[in-house]
Chains A and B, each alone.
Chain A
Amino acid sequence: MNTSYPGRVVRVNLSDNKIERQQLSSELLRAYLGGRGVGVRLLWDDVAPDVDPFDEGNALMFLPGVLTGTSTPCSGRTTVSAKGPATGQYLKTSVGGYLGIALKMAGVDAVVVQGIAEQPTVLVIDEQGGRLEPAGDTWGQGVKETTRRLKQRYGDDVEVACIGPAGEKLVRFAAVMTSVYNAAARGGIGAVMGSKRLKAIVIVPGRGGVRVHDPDRFSAAARQARELLYNDSVAPDLHKYGTARDVDILNELRLLPTRNFQRSALSGDAYNLSGRSWPKMGYLERIVSCGGCIYCCHRFTRVSSGPYAGTASGGPEYETVAAFGSGCGILELEPVLAANALCNDLGLDTISAGNVVQWAMETAEKGILTEDDLGGLKLSFGDAEGMLELLMMIGERRGVGDVLAEGVARAADKIGHDSHRWAVEARGLEQSNVELRGAYSYALAFAVNPRGPDHLHTECLAEFGGTNEGISLVEKLTGDKSLAVPDTEIGRAKIVRWHEDMYAVTDAVGMCAFSTTAAYSLDEHALAELVAAATGQEISGEELMKAGKRILTLERCFSLRHGLEPSCDDRVPRRMMEEIPQDVQKGEPMDRERLSRMLKEYYELHGWDPETGRPLRTELHRLGLDFAAEVAVGPCEKGGSR
């Protein structure tokens, strides 16, 4: 059963050089689907509460989805999960490229890595299983060179997922890079890999392929899904101009985080930063796709003249442009492309890296980080060379880079002088580049995101009312389409609740958010039809969404078990709660009271205790999560409705 995702796990223990096969039960697959869902279920059992993210007891997991490797459009995604170094709590990241398809073709549905290798190691996975080999001369190398050398060693057609120097040096925002330029970026997942001395996973192409239970039914469902995606209103521009297509428009709307969120727009035209301009300016060399996608929103960019000539890399995405462009007060694209290429090669999350640099710029402008502290750098907003030098120092943990490599929360602890006030983080994770002070669903979603404040757990784009699909969805969720506006508390909890379940399902089946929650082509029923046809397990849209809620709830339980305190952790960064952008005349910060009211409604909708934010035991029972009852509150009722 579960034809397209039979639950084949490769378990690796690097401490004692052991590789074993594990078969997941069909009950587990029914409850958690695959990908992110299977990940959190395994993490619950595998990682004890007293385990530090860098201990050998932490488990690093690579989990393609239920539909990955099939022709389901946009289904090439892989969850990479662990106890996270930024938060000390639950962490999932999602990555595209070819990793997931390669794993499924090699007959692997999940890879779980525990232990710490004595020497830097490479894990080679093929259809026969796996083997551990010395990392040799790849240790210390950047992502490009590492990938080159591993392809020389194992063959041009192998897929490589690796860390760069940043992961080796345990930078708390190091990424795992795959297909050279695709990042499992956030939360320090690359540092977990580095702590295990695992330089890379190499996947040898398999021939077994991926089967589906009912080919005719699947074929029809996939064709219909494709048709819906092609007809989505955001699709053509997403393909042509990528995720950074609207940077200039966001700037005009004053929704573009600028100078460490002190401002909401660059003074000047942001057209150069916008993906729309890159083809004309000659920076776009190629439109690139993840494996199995029909949208192809990734880019390959190159600078062919001037001081940054020779820069060539995958991306940048919107988040990277905002992090190193507007965020650092930089109007030109070329330094942004250089920062993007540098982060890709060091193996750094561009969102956190940019945020850290911005914090350092502001701290330097306030006179707290001096030229001496910065190793001779006169850092200020707009300083492109300073930005690039600082990134190198962080990636190599050189000088002040060693402090900054810990992320803004820990750096502010160390530097002091009230610098927490402009450390734009919550739970230890740097916020992504969304202006949430006027976008209340985003604020709520960021506050409850288990990995910290970003948009990649719950993408509530519908609340802006920018597309017909978004407006219809808000109407479906709240009964009132006039609520498709971002600056109201009303209906926000309902909007967040739907989006977070849908995102969990999307990750579990291995699809991209642009198919379900950041654009809204496919609903739960379309996904259920694909899953049923692919796995042979009949499942309704409602059951699928319940699985999404189960996954989310267990993630919450994992974090509670590992130290989450809802009363102080369910929050947005301080700057969001205390200040409004300096260039905005009206408006209010996302103050604590407003957030608390929305949180209470959100907890209630979840069946969690509205005061403490802890799941009620009755709700855990309803979701089949009785085993997690230790972190819940309320009476232990048996026999609740299932």
Chain B
Amino acid sequence: MGKYIVRRLLISIPVLFGITIIVFGLLQIAPGDPVSGMIDPTIGNFDADMIETEREKLGLNEPLPVQYFFWLSRVLRGDLGYSLITQKPVADMIGIRLWPTLKITLSALILSTVVGITVGIISAVYQYSLVDYISTFLSFVAVSLPGFFLALALIYLFALRLDWLPTSGMVTLGQEPSLWDEIQHMILPVSILGIGSAAPLVRYARSSMLEILSQDFVVLARAKGVREWVAVLRHAFPNALIPLITVIGLRLPVLFAGSVIVEQIFHWQGLGTLNIWAVLNQDYSVLMGLNLISAILVLSANLLTDIAYAVVDPRIQLD
């Protein structure tokens, strides 16, 4: 097991390098002087001499490959440069936005996992029943609905018409902060992200469960007179979950991408709104920092998924 984890970590290293090379490459083609994003703006006025010494210090007068290693060593120390607009360190700007985004994406991941697997399993157990047809159809609709349209429709219904939930924001302004208030603000964004993400899971859960249900050990369990729900829930269900681990892990990048739109609509102060802000203000150092962070988060999620899979499935050859 330990050996497998080490090997899996080793495979991730070239990928991590690849990610940094792409981000560095994109920084190079960004318009404007890439230097301005690297120099600490608190140093003072930029006169030509000062900039020249800074360039020298940052290795920006070196050839590109050398510049890359200078840049990489700063990144590895958590220094992502400075915003071209606010002049704050990019790492700080991303840091304060990270938790709000994780809050809705992880909640959506949990919601979609529970809903997706439950519906998928029920669909499989009652294959070709009305429930099966309805859930299959609805999962198709949910995959096809653009998140922003669903969001607008739900805001229209639940916030504007019924007035049950707030239209946007993370908390009610000018009100004592409370957990319930926070939850109310999370319901719509999390549901929208969750619905879109649950839909593909329904399909996978259904086909995984169908495959397991037809296997000999389930047939045997039934043959020896085990009650139907025991056969389904105790014998089949845990085995149907194993292949779903990978699918759930792969939802994370999709959720991150989806949160850009959802955050924008709900004025949610996370990485997504920061992303759009950076694009509209052409703040390329922030934009690249965001790409780097989200790629690294996804890479770590993939790593965890693979390790979880190996832990759960004894059939995986570990060496």
Q: Decide if A and B are genuine partners.
A: no
**Which of B's residues lie within 8 Å of A, judged by CB?**
none
